[in-house]
Amino acid sequence: MSLERKLRARIEGKQTKRKTLKLIKWLQRKHLLKEKLRCPLCFHKMKMFSVTKKDQYIWCCKRGHKRVSKTIRAGSLFEKSKSSLLNWMKYIYRFSQGLRLRQIDMISDDIAGSSTTLSKMARCIRRVCICAMERQRRKNRQCLGGRKEFVVIDESCFRHQRKYARGRFGNTWRRKKWVFGMMGVKDKRRRVVLKLVEKRSRRHLVPLIRQHVKAGSSIISDEWRAYRVVLRNFGYKHYTTNHSRWFVDPRSGSHTQHIERAWGIIKGHIRRLRGNRTEALLKEHLMVLEWSSWLGSRNPDGPLGRLFKDIQKAFPV
């Protein structure tokens, strides 16, 4: 059974105390919760006891050091959260299903009582993804291209729009900005690098291309670009696609249509980030999109498997 189905089996249906225990044991086996804990007074192994509090179980010392009972969440991602483990798992399941998460649906599904609770959970998970992506960057500098991978570049305008009349003025952000995207395409693999830029000029984009695309790679962009000649000087092969002449990659046979479809999905995600957002938050969301393409989709158990792995890394229990 896939990881996803296993998780679904544990979060669906009526929740009994037995089911809660099963979920806890499963999370312990997955190393998201501590499997063992020692009493800080006598250093003997503690035991899980049933209580009537939120998680229904706590760690207690068998030798009667009752005052040192600990929550089963000790040291885990969930330690500081007030949400139930069940709701956490529901949220994580939804997250792994797609990045298209609507708060309103999740509130109606009882994952969280309020949007504040939900935002807190979302922030936690984003942090986990961002840490993982930063490790990945240190490892390979997020380099695309090479002999077998071609790179598509594109920009999306990102104008700040406030959804509601109210809002904080201090850190909202109104100027027009651009999300510059570079997508490496190799067979079915798609990896994206997404950067926020002030302008889409040569001066802003060429350094990013040089940083993230290996020299000698094929770069594809739509229509004419001001920096075309510059790219050639840096050793890139630059192709343009315009809508009358369909571009077909000689090696992969990949069509402009495929490329445009892949871009469409990414752009859709980016479009959904418009609204009442701060720049810092937007950057975080872009990094989660990068996480999804570099790490999430490449795990044998999908984004869920990768997320479990990254939570283990961020919160070793």
Residue (61 or 219) nearer to Zn ion, CB: 61
Residue (65 or 202) nearer to Zn ion, CB: 65
The residues, any chain, with a CB within 8 Å of residue 58's CB and separated by 6 or more, are 48, 49, 51, 69, 70, 71, 72
Residue (37 or 259) nearer to Zn ion, CB: 37
d(CA 66, CA 47): 11
Long-range CB contact pairs, 63-69, < 8 A, 24+: 63/39, 65/39, 65/41, 68/39, 68/40, 68/41
Residue (39 or 273) nearer to Zn ion, CB: 39
Tokens representing residue 55 in the block: 């998680």
Element (H, E) at 5: helix 3-11
Residue reference for tokens 């006891």: 49
The residues, any chain, with a CB within 8 Å of residue 260's CB and separated by 6 or more, are none
Cβ 70 to Zn ion shortest distance, Å: 11
Cβ 59 to Zn ion shortest distance, Å: 11
Residue (66 or 139) nearer to Zn ion, CB: 66
Cβ 60 to Zn ion shortest distance, Å: 9
Residue (25 or 65) nearer to Zn ion, CB: 65
d(CA 20, CA 86): 8
Instruction: Say how many C-beta atoms besides its own lie within 10 A of residue 169's C-beta.
Output: 7
Q: Under the rule (CB under 5 A), what is the footprint of Zn ion? A: 39, 41-42, 61, 63, 65
Cβ 54 to Zn ion shortest distance, Å: 24
Residue (37 or 77) nearer to Zn ion, CB: 37
Cβ 46 to Zn ion shortest distance, Å: 7
Cβ 43 to Zn ion shortest distance, Å: 7
Question: How is residue 44 annotated by DSSP?
Answer: P
Residue (41 or 196) nearer to Zn ion, CB: 41
Under 8 Å between Cβ of 152 and 182 = yes
Q: If DSSP codes are grouped into helix, strand and coil, which group holds residue 234?
A: coil
Cβ 47 to Zn ion shortest distance, Å: 10
Tokens representing residue 15 in the block: 């929740």
R_g (Cα) of the chain, nearest Å: 23
Cβ 316 to Zn ion shortest distance, Å: 24
Q: In the Cβ-directed half-sphere of 264, how many Cα atoms lie within 13 Å? A: 6
Q: Which of 177, 165, 181 is nearest to 278 (CA)?
A: 177
